[in-house]
Amino acid sequence: MAIFSHTQQQMQVNTNIEVNNSSRLGNTFNRGNSDVFKTNASTDYFIKVQGDLLDELGRFIFLGSILNNNGKTDADVRPRIDKARAALHQMKSI
């Protein structure tokens, strides 16, 4: 599940709502499988679930694209360009 928020307060409130709704419906929140990915945000705040801090991710892979903390996909653009260049080079040989 992904929770999107513009502020730390919104993220904490939304996370608490999800945890409470999950437990009310009989589901458990697995803290071991839960992480936080911040883009273009300061790292001076942390998201807590039931008193425990969630781990922060440095990058996130979504639909094959690698997102960095700065919100850019620079990490996977260069390999894609290199693959396209290699494919084009092979086509010229034919």
Choose the weakest-confidence range: 6-10, 40-44, 46-50, 66-70. Answer: 40-44
Phi, psi of 20 (to 5 degrees): -65, -45
Residue 92: per-residue pLDDT: 66
- Where do the structural domains in the chain lie, given as residue ranges? 1-57, 59-94
Residue 42: per-residue pLDDT: 67
- Per-residue pLDDT reduced to its tens digit, 22-43: 888 888 777 777 777 777 766 6
Q: What is the pTM of this model?
A: 0.56
Contact residues for 54 (Cβ-Cβ < 8 A; gap 6+):
31, 34, 35, 36, 46, 47, 48
CA distance 31 to 29: 6
- Per-residue pLDDT reduced to its tens digit, 58-92: 788 777 778 877 777 777 788 888 889 998 888 86
